[in-house]
Amino acid sequence: MGHRSPVDAPAALRIVGIGASAGGLVALEEFLQRIPADGGMACIVVQHLDPTQKGLLPELLQRVTEMPVWAAEQGMRIEPGHVYVIPPNTELTLVGTTLHLAEPAEPRGMRLPVNILFSSLASGQGERAIGVVLSGMGSDGTAGLQAIKAVGGLTAVQDPESAQFDSMPRSAIEAGCADIVATPSELPGRILAVMAHPSEAGAGSDETPPPEAASPLERVVTLLQQRIRHDFSLYKPSTLKRRAERRMAIHGLASLEQYAEFVEHNSQEGELLFKELLIGVTSFFRDPATWEYLAGTVLPELLERRKGEDKLRAWVIGCSTGEEAYSLAMVFTEVMERVPDPHGVTLQIFASDLSPDGIATARRGQYPLSIADDVSPERLARFFTAHERYYQINQDIRDMVLFAQHDVILDPPFTKLDLIACRNLLIYFGPVLQRRLLPLFHYILRPGAVLFLGTSETVGQFNHLFTPIESRLRFYQRQDHVPMGGRDFLLRAFPPLSGPNKEHPVSSTEVSSRPPDELQAAADQVLLQVYAPAAVVLNGEGDIVYVSGHTGKYLEPAAGKANWNIFAMAREGLGGPLASAMKKAATSDHPVHLHSLEVPTHAGVQRVDVTVHAFHDPSPLRGMTMVIFRDLAPSSAGHGGRSPKGKGGRPAAHAAELQQYRAEIESLREEARTSRQESQAANEELQSANEELQSSNEELNSSKEEMQSMNEELQTINAELQAKLDDLALAQSDMQNVLNSIDIAILFLDQNLHVRRYTEQAAKIFRLREGDVGRPLSDLTTSLEYPELQDDARDTLRTLATSEKQITADDDRWFTVRIMPYRRVDNVIDGVVITMVDITETKRLEAALRE
């Protein structure tokens, strides 16, 4: 359940992945402006870019930050205080602290480069990963933030109100994977504050919090229990404190008292803390030596003990995203191939977890290509189907596992199990909860069954319930014929029914030393457990809240999501009569009795008497219903085994009545068969129509995503071009100011000798106005006595030779007129430049000197 350590990451380096799309340039500039160059952070920027255009993003971002901005290259090593930008038409991933570039696996319009970067960041950096989603269209980045959050990293999202396009930020927020929501200019400060918080810097302690911190922590736990229905009060305080301190750092809160107030007035924070407390990291075949021992010793011995049975049952508790459950299914499949005489034994695996997101991922059975580090090539080839970006678990393995969202603390457990895998979950529970769950595991395991714990867990004081098979690898076998150790075992073992004083098992010496009233209670409890019939207690919705005795002959868990409603669990022959009896009992003061109900079992048909009793008193049981099952002996079904043969007409009447019942049953079966066929035909038609609609919907979605991607790329290009236009406008203003400040008349002409640009001094000489741009030189009137001006300009265009003459004007001023070729930056001649320098004073001085 621990997180993978970052690979080759310097202790001070924190890598921030930034994803943006349409409208993201302004947000990126605001974000990077406020990142200090010496803060120990490196930024990797991924934006949706046009694959056919050269990227301008690095030079645009370099204008607003002191950190060096680089276009990412293959094998480039990340350094603190630098910014790395994805090039066009590539996928950018992080391996350790090195950048890797690859060609996009998906066609244009279907690419999700932000998710790809964030997923690699989560895998490589673990809880040190930081992901930021800024303005953009679509939902790219949401899945990546979920991956970062799952490993304990930090996630930040731009406030949708401040985003030019809010689809990407809003998608991340609605998915519940945003730790920080703020404007781009505020996000850097919030992130730096989290990095500087003591819990992030390693100040968190494994010790129990001091008394003054216990009260607000208990308030937080109580609020979680009220809002989310999960009780964290029996978790280790150090686990709760570390997770709460992390949330405090995110919100900039200094004390647990402040955080308790914040949770009380913010319902969404309770949900975020709940997800934070779930440990959701696992892998295939974690601790390989344990899986080798399971395959080589534990499973073969278990199969030998279960010889003659056709089905085994296992429960993987805290399965997270399903890797451990699928690992067990693969190992069992391999073992069955090596067993000499397998007899067609199958394994039904129940896999449960609190996290709905983890269960959804497990049900999909899609895992990243990085699982090749944990799964051998032989198993990958056999149990998975390889795709371009993920591995898909094969259907035969998927069918072996039933995933369910289930709370091992509050929900009724699975029963009659041959193996329980509860690895690295008990270490997060306090000792009181561990003392309650381990006896419960013993109760729900069959004789000779196996308990499989994590490497940091043991059965502790319950070594009388479990015998070590291999203690170093944490395999234990259930001890049979062991007393449960107390008259309140089920109440103590099942936390929802636990009382405050039912903590410790009761030994025989304790019983012998009790006063008479307690001895009577203990004896009553033995009579209840040994001789009382099987029974269940139901709440108002028909959900089972308490089980007494062995009810497996009458009830069994239904396939699919865990459902503890009695109508879903009742075996064939009980559901209908139970529903009617419960309705009748709810309005009656007396129990309702059902006689001789037939229940199919493995050994044949069992006749059962059922009693349904609705409680109106005492107050703890008010509104609940008890259902009691009593087996009938085979002889009771025939009323003593005698048939009244003395009356001649009775056998014939019984035969006729029996024949009538058979005819009615056959008629009902025929009607049911016809109805089923009609329903099946209608269902097939609806299924066909649904597939057609789904196909059309997928095509429309594909077209929509392609158009959306094109639109985002155009938005990005537009933003870059707008920035270039702003630069050009500024450069033009600078040039105009320079030309006007040098007090020289300059006239720019194109190749056809048409006016392109001029200075204010040239406008006075040629009498130019704004509307004269584009007019030919020959149409202009000038004060210069220079009729050869146009011919000299053409000669300069033809010969590329500079012409310079001293010309007088009609107002007795003198000018040096120079005609030069106009040369562009790409070395192409595109007109001429005529400069006119006033030399009147020089001429007057020259004349005076001559005189």
Beta bridge partners of residue 368, listed in sequence order:
390
Residues 6+ apart with CB under 8 A from 115: 140, 141, 142, 143, 144
Task: Out of 245-249, 277-281, 611-615, pick the least confident.
Answer: 277-281
CA distance 776 to 156: 60
More confident residue, 367 or 670: 367
* Residue 6: band (very low, low, confident or very high) from pLDDT cuts 50, 70, 90: very low
The pLDDT, as a whole number, for residue 380 is 92
Kindly state the tokens that stand for 382.
């056999």
Residues 6+ apart with CB under 8 A from 755: 747, 748, 749, 768, 772, 773, 774, 775, 776, 777, 780
* Residue 424: band (very low, low, confident or very high) from pLDDT cuts 50, 70, 90: confident
Query: Do residues 454 and 423 make contact, with C-beta atoms less than 8 angstroms apart?
Result: yes
Q: Are strands 346-353 and 401-405 parallel, antiparallel or unpaired?
A: parallel
The residue-averaged pLDDT of 225-248 equals 73
Whose tokens are 């009147």? That residue is 840
The pLDDT, as a whole number, for residue 492 is 53
* Residue 522: band (very low, low, confident or very high) from pLDDT cuts 50, 70, 90: low
Please say if the pLDDT value at position 205 is more than 70.
no
Residues 6+ apart with CB under 8 A from 307: 343
Please say if the pLDDT value at position 2 is more than 70.
no
The model's pLDDT over 483-492, given as tens digits with 9 standing for 90+, comes to 655 445 554 5
* Residue 521: band (very low, low, confident or very high) from pLDDT cuts 50, 70, 90: low
The sign one gets for the Cα dihedral 191, 196, 198, 199 is: positive
Average pLDDT across the chain, whole number = 79
CA distance 555 to 534: 11
The model's pLDDT over 342-379, given as tens digits with 9 standing for 90+, comes to 667 889 999 998 888 888 889 999 888 778 878 899 99
**DSSP-H helix ranges across 79-154:** 113-125, 142-150
More confident residue, 501 or 833: 833
Please say if the pLDDT value at position 457 is more than 90.
no
The pLDDT, as a whole number, for residue 664 is 67
Kindly state the tokens that stand for 834.
């005529």
Please say if the pLDDT value at position 636 is more than 50.
no
CA distance 748 to 746: 7
Please say if the pLDDT value at position 647 is more than 50.
no
Beta bridge partners of residue 605, listed in sequence order:
600
Query: Do residues 575 and 566 make contact, with C-beta atoms less than 8 angstroms apart?
Result: no
CA distance 63 to 8: 31
Phi, psi of 287 (to 5 degrees): 60, 75
The residue-averaged pLDDT of 262-273 equals 78
Q: Which letter does DSSP use for residue 809 in this model? A: B
* Residue 287: band (very low, low, confident or very high) from pLDDT cuts 50, 70, 90: confident
The pLDDT, as a whole number, for residue 648 is 45
Kindly state the tokens that stand for 51.
């694959």
Query: Do residues 438 and 465 make contact, with C-beta atoms less than 8 angstroms apart?
Result: yes
The model's pLDDT over 718-728, given as tens digits with 9 standing for 90+, comes to 777 778 888 88
More confident residue, 399 or 2: 399
Strands (E), 705-758: 745-749, 755-758
The pLDDT, as a whole number, for residue 484 is 55
The pLDDT, as a whole number, for residue 585 is 87
Q: Which letter does DSSP use for residue 294 in this model? A: I
DSSP 185-208: TTHHHHHHHHHHSTTTTT---SSP
Query: Do residues 719 and 25 make contact, with C-beta atoms less than 8 angstroms apart?
Result: yes
Kindly state the tokens that stand for 650.
């009775």
Phi, psi of 333 (to 5 degrees): -60, -40
Query: Do residues 35 and 188 make contact, with C-beta atoms less than 8 angstroms apart?
Result: yes
Whose tokens are 């943006």? That residue is 20
Specify the amino acid at residue 360: A
Region of 668 (left: φ > 0; alpha: ψ -120 to 50; beta: rest) is alpha
H or E element: which one contains 275? helix 267-277
Distance of CA 98 to CAs 7, 94, 122, 141, 371, Å? 10, 6, 14, 21, 20
Letter string b/e over residues 113-140, b meaning 16 or more CB atoms within 10 A of that residue's CB: bbbbbbbbbbbbbbbbbbbbbbbbbbbb
pTM for the model stands at 0.45
Interhelix angle 211-228/256-264, rounded to 10 degrees, is 20
CA distance 805 to 574: 117
The pLDDT, as a whole number, for residue 395 is 92
Phi, psi of 42 (to 5 degrees): -120, 135
H or E element: which one contains 101? strand 98-102
The pLDDT, as a whole number, for residue 50 is 74
The model's pLDDT over 318-341, given as tens digits with 9 standing for 90+, comes to 888 899 999 999 999 999 888 776
The model's pLDDT over 775-785, given as tens digits with 9 standing for 90+, comes to 898 888 888 88
CA distance 315 to 425: 14
Q: Are strands 604-614 and 625-631 parallel, antiparallel or unpaired?
A: antiparallel
**DSSP-H helix ranges across 427-543:** 431-444, 489-493, 508-512, 516-531
Spatial CA neighbour of 632 closest among 535, 536, 533: 533
CA distance 450 to 302: 8
* Residue 531: band (very low, low, confident or very high) from pLDDT cuts 50, 70, 90: low
Please say if the pLDDT value at position 542 is more than 60.
yes
CA distance 659 to 389: 64
H or E element: which one contains 728? helix 650-741
Q: Would you tell me how many other CB atoms lie within 10 Å of the CB of residue 775?
A: 15
DSSP 212-241: HHHHHHHHHHHHHHHHHS---TTB-HHHHH
Q: Are strands 366-368 and 417-422 parallel, antiparallel or unpaired?
A: unpaired
Please say if the pLDDT value at position 61 is more than 80.
yes
Q: Would you tell me how many other CB atoms lie within 10 Å of the CB of residue 827?
A: 6
* Residue 849: band (very low, low, confident or very high) from pLDDT cuts 50, 70, 90: confident
Residues 6+ apart with CB under 8 A from 603: none
* Residue 497: band (very low, low, confident or very high) from pLDDT cuts 50, 70, 90: very low
* Residue 529: band (very low, low, confident or very high) from pLDDT cuts 50, 70, 90: low
The residue-averaged pLDDT of 103-116 equals 78
Phi, psi of 12 (to 5 degrees): -85, -15
The pLDDT, as a whole number, for residue 5 is 37
More confident residue, 474 or 223: 474
CA distance 836 to 848: 23
**DSSP-H helix ranges across 99-161:** 113-125, 142-150
The residue-averaged pLDDT of 816-838 equals 89
Query: Do residues 233 and 221 make contact, with C-beta atoms less than 8 angstroms apart?
Result: yes
